[in-house]
Amino acid sequence: MNFHISEKMASLKPSAIREILKATSQPGIIPFAAGNPAPEAFPVQAVAEITADILKNQPIAALQYSVSEGYPALRETMKRFIAQHDQIGQPYDDLIIVSGAQQGIELSAKVLLDDGDTLICENPSFIGSLNAFRSYHVNLVGVPQTQGGIDIETLERTLQQNPRTRLLYVIPNFQNPTGTCMSLEKRKAVLELAKKYDFVILEDNPYGNLRFAGEDIPAIKSMDTEGRVIYCGSFSKILAPGIRVGYVCAHRDLISKITVAKQCSDVHTTILSQMICQRFVDDYDIDAHIASIRKIYAKKCALMLSELDKHLHPAIQYTRPEGGLFLWCTLPQQVDMLEFCRKAVEQKVAVVPGNAFNAREEDPSSSFRVNFSTPTDPQIVEGAAILGKLSYEMLEAIPAQR
Amino acid sequence: MNFHISEKMASLKPSAIREILKATSQPGIIPFAAGNPAPEAFPVQAVAEITADILKNQPIAALQYSVSEGYPALRETMKRFIAQHDQIGQPYDDLIIVSGAQQGIELSAKVLLDDGDTLICENPSFIGSLNAFRSYHVNLVGVPQTQGGIDIETLERTLQQNPRTRLLYVIPNFQNPTGTCMSLEKRKAVLELAKKYDFVILEDNPYGNLRFAGEDIPAIKSMDTEGRVIYCGSFSKILAPGIRVGYVCAHRDLISKITVAKQCSDVHTTILSQMICQRFVDDYDIDAHIASIRKIYAKKCALMLSELDKHLHPAIQYTRPEGGLFLWCTLPQQVDMLEFCRKAVEQKVAVVPGNAFNAREEDPSSSFRVNFSTPTDPQIVEGAAILGKLSYEMLEAIPAQR
């Protein structure tokens, strides 16, 4: 039978890009397209110890229904954690535990956006968030990024053109997909614009703890004195993504609405996962663990960069990230980026075509995303060589095509 | 600052009833208002063994990102489980793992309903589902239940009055809050109406395995040959609710849309929870475990009924459930039900006022919901005596008020 699908979900169609992404999970593929943390970064032993202890001494608490706001001890722990690590927390703020930052983003959109309201994002931006926004049928507008992050002039012009802008979505640290950071000046400018044009900033910070070079830049939320910023954090990159735990810190009026939305969505986040996170932060040396993860990614990123430096055609530009999981490669405009990605997959190296991250997927892109956390070191070496060879083939073919 | 809240979420307001519910979590309160499974029904030892084994032998699989459709082994296990236990599964069907049946219900609404579309439910019905529907700003219409379930004549009249009806939400087994079952005749009639008026049935079956008396009645989904029924099941009552695992079986065209919606919502369900469920069903004797849970609830229900029989004023009517967790008490119309519930809480017995379960909360109700799975046996004895005393006080006061 033919089903009537809601307008908001009917517009979310599988795309050609997702088909390419599907191919990337085939066995034998070098996974530069993924976004998985490195398995060696998981504190397996600690999780096993904590879990055994919880199931021995507090089994009923771990298995029974719990409250939608989250495990009270973890909420307190995370309030302390972001106060210490990110100088976040105003008297009017509250914090809810969610099933990964993805849920924090989705629920924020649900709470704040009516059909047709405008949400502005960096262009390109994280596809998972963009799809969450699309699933509420909002007017999604991307603003390009220049040196140091989102282009402030274009952002202001976009705000003038879209008076129903409710939300600006940004990933200021090691942005997905570009791997770059928003400068302090731009963070301040964005906050000023939020006051001037009366919108809320959704600050997504899954990678902030993964800085392996350079200096930390204050979170936008830490400079906010009005409650205009919703801050989303995650355990996916500092502990493990499979346990699905994230958190949202925002003005208590927003958290209370997000709590109602969460109750409708999944009642509460897996309580065992929440208990594991609380114990891990409170009873283990979380800072030492984060330092060890940073070392892993620093090494992997350096390897990826040195191999790309060695192999890629010099006309290809790429970011040199100071943290996070991704770098962003840009081909000369004459090269067909989708064709490049298709040929790369044929040769067993998967990368993500850049237009997958556009606010409007149909807009052109000359870039592709490369992940360095998922592949093993030998895969990085092998994959970079394959991409390098392909880059010479395709770039040297250009004059002949003219 | 004042936040602009979306229309769909702004309309979801905390109510007077929720305030009463808050009081019910105070210490010292006898919890007839809850809906928690009995803790003694949790297979604590098995969960601890399985979890230790997973974290020893498959830690990376348990901690890494996974696919939105769910852990493949659990999907296969649950397809087999519902085929064997409920005769469910057509060649066109597929199955997705969700974060509790609540999420299956919420995502089904998101996928199928546009703003203002009509969703019909039994009146009264489960407040968690009703709020999920409200959070999509749908036209929620309740149809009263008579002997053997939803009133078919009123349902058909309601369908004629609401041509944009997309979805009928029903809990055919041990309905929440009434504790009653829909008869086979009514299940068939509902399916015929779905064909005639071209809508989809959302069949929520969290309690189906908890039958402790009488005969099983086939699921509506088992009689469906067109793919008109979305079937939601849950591990909350047969294993534990804190792990947040449920499943949805429906036509693959709907499952593929629900999968996209799930990816936007929380990427995937906690993978450790999914692995625990798969091992528990496949490696342990799930049928023996379900039989043991049924025994617990049969005993608790019998105790509750015998104590209510002993103590309640004979003018109060209540259902005698053959399974599930709840029974439904109805006061004579002259008694103020909300006043009764308020006085009960003052005397340390929490029950849920019936209008909390109405499609329109402002509609009157003379009933309240009583849960027998959460309170201990001594609490059942004590609480029933308190309700009994209160019932005599309030009922004997009626003539004096005239």
- Residue A3 counted as domain residue: no
The single residue listed with the structure tokens 């044009």 is A197
Q: Which of B51, B226, B266 sits opposite A51 (nearest CB)?
A: B51
Q: Among A224, A254, A283, which residue terminates a domain? A: A283
Q: Which of B39, B266, B267 sits opposite A64 (nearest CB)?
A: B39
pLDDT tens sequence across B246-275: 999 999 999 999 999 999 999 999 999 999
- Residue B1 counted as domain residue: no
* Local confidence band at B219 (pLDDT 50, 70, 90 cut-offs): very high
- A3 has a chain B CB within 8 A of its CB: yes
For A374, name the nearest residue in chain B, comparing CA atoms only.
Answer: B64
Same domain for B28 and B97? no
Q: How does A258-290 read in b/e, with b if 16+ C-beta sit within 10 Å?
A: bbbbbbbbbbbbbbbbbbbbbbbbeebebeebb
CA B128 to chain CA mean position, Å: 8
Check residue B11 and give its pLDDT.
Answer: 81
- B289 has a chain A CB within 8 A of its CB: no
CA A299 to chain CA mean position, Å: 21
Check residue B252 and give its pLDDT.
Answer: 97
Residues of chain B with C-beta less than 8 angstroms from the C-beta of A1: 226-228, 251
Q: Is the pLDDT score of A235 beyond 90?
A: yes
Same domain for A119 and A266? yes
pLDDT tens sequence across B175-189: 999 999 999 999 999
Q: Among A252, A283, A314, which residue terminates a domain? A: A283
Residues of chain B with C-beta less than 8 angstroms from the C-beta of A58: none
Range of the domain at B36: 8-42+288-401
For A200, name the nearest residue in chain B, comparing CA atoms only.
Answer: B3
Check residue B361 and give its pLDDT.
Answer: 87
- A70 has a chain B CB within 8 A of its CB: no
Check residue A402 and give its pLDDT.
Answer: 45
- Residue B168 counted as domain residue: yes
Q: Which of A92-101, B31-40, B288-297 has the lowest mean pLDDT?
A: B31-40
| DSSP assignment string, A89-147 | --TTEEEEEESSHHHHHHHHHHHH--TT-EEEEEES--HHHHHHHHTTT-EEEEEEEET
Same domain for A165 and A138? yes
**Residue A248 phi, psi dihedral angles, 5° rounding:** -130, 125
Check residue B20 and give its pLDDT.
Answer: 62
| Interface-testing mutation among A6, A71, A93, A115, with chain B (most B C-beta atoms within 10 A) | A6
For B245, name the nearest residue in chain A, comparing CA atoms only.
Answer: A270
pLDDT tens sequence across A158-168: 999 999 999 99
- A373 has a chain B CB within 8 A of its CB: no
pLDDT tens sequence across B187-204: 999 999 999 999 999 999
CB contact under 8 A, A3 and B64: no
Largest CA distance in chain B: 73
Check residue A21 and give its pLDDT.
Answer: 65
Residues of chain B with C-beta less than 8 angstroms from the C-beta of A226: 1
Q: Which of residues 246-285 of A touch B (CB under 8 A)?
A: 251, 253-254, 257, 260-261, 263-273
Same domain for A202 and A308? no
Ramachandran area for residue B109 (φ above 0: left; ψ -120 to 50: alpha; else beta):
alpha
Residues of chain B with C-beta less than 8 angstroms from the C-beta of A62: 242
Is the Cβ–Cβ distance between B294 and B173 less than 8 Å? no
Same domain for A255 and A303? no
Same domain for A269 and A332? no
Q: Which of A55, A103, A240 sits opposite B51 (nearest CB)?
A: A55
Q: Which of A56, A103, A110 sits opposite B9 (nearest CB)?
A: A110
For A107, name the nearest residue in chain B, comparing CA atoms only.
Answer: B265
Treating both helix axes as pointing N-terminal to C-terminal, what angle do A286-311 and A377-396 enclose, rounded to 10 degrees? Answer: 30
Average pLDDT, chain A: 95
User: Residue B367 is part of a domain; what is its CATH number?
Assistant: 3.90.1150.10
Q: Is the peptide bond before B39 cis (omega within 30 degrees of 0)?
A: no
CB contact under 8 A, A266 and B103: yes
* Local confidence band at B397 (pLDDT 50, 70, 90 cut-offs): confident
Q: Is the pLDDT score of B400 beyond 90?
A: no
pLDDT tens sequence across A321-376: 999 999 999 999 999 999 999 999 999 999 999 999 999 988 999 999 999 999 99
Structural domains counted in chain B: 2
**Residue B298 phi, psi dihedral angles, 5° rounding:** -60, -45
Q: Among A220, A249, A283, which residue terminates a domain? A: A283
Same domain for A112 and A250? yes
User: Measured between CA atoms, how close is A271 to chain B, in angstroms?
Assistant: 5
Same domain for B224 and B131? yes
User: Measured between CA atoms, how close is A217 to chain B, in angstroms?
Assistant: 26
* Local confidence band at B322 (pLDDT 50, 70, 90 cut-offs): very high
User: Measured between CA atoms, how close is A350 to chain B, in angstroms?
Assistant: 18
- Residue B105 counted as domain residue: yes
The Cα–Cα gap between A124 and A177 comes to: 7
CB contact under 8 A, A270 and B99: yes
- A46 has a chain B CB within 8 A of its CB: no
Average pLDDT, chain B: 95
Q: What is the 3-state secondary structure (H, E, C) of A303-361?
A: HHHHHHHHHCCCCCEECCCCECCEEEEECCCCCCHHHHHHHHHHCCEECEEHHHHCCCC
* pLDDT, mean of residues B206-221: 97
Largest CA distance in chain A: 72
pLDDT tens sequence across A11-33: 886 555 566 666 666 789 999 99
User: Residue B243 is part of a domain; what is its CATH number?
Assistant: 3.40.640.10
CB contact under 8 A, A102 and B8: no
Check residue B217 and give its pLDDT.
Answer: 98
- A242 has a chain B CB within 8 A of its CB: yes
Q: Is the pLDDT score of B17 beyond 70?
A: no
pLDDT tens sequence across B96-108: 999 999 999 999 9
User: Measured between CA atoms, how close is B395 to chain A, in angstroms?
Assistant: 36
- B196 has a chain A CB within 8 A of its CB: no
> What tokens were used for B234?
């849950």
Same domain for B85 and B23? no
Name B14's Cβ contacts closer than 8 Å, sequence gap at least 6. A260
- Residue A334 counted as domain residue: yes
Q: Coil, helix or strand for B42?
A: coil
**Number of neighbours of residue A201 by Cβ within 10 angstroms:** 22
Q: Is the pLDDT score of B123 beyond 70?
A: yes
Same domain for A35 and A61? no
A vs B, Cβ pairs < 8 A, gives 235
User: Measured between CA atoms, how close is A370 to chain B, in angstroms?
Assistant: 18
ipTM of the complex: 0.96
Check residue B18 and give its pLDDT.
Answer: 62
Same domain for B216 and B267? yes
Q: Is the pLDDT score of B41 beyond 50?
A: yes
Check residue A11 and give its pLDDT.
Answer: 81
- Residue A268 counted as domain residue: yes
Is the Cβ–Cβ distance between A337 and A331 less than 8 Å? yes
- Residue A1 counted as domain residue: no
* Local confidence band at B159 (pLDDT 50, 70, 90 cut-offs): very high
Same domain for A146 and A254? yes
- Residue B357 counted as domain residue: yes
Check residue B401 and give its pLDDT.
Answer: 47
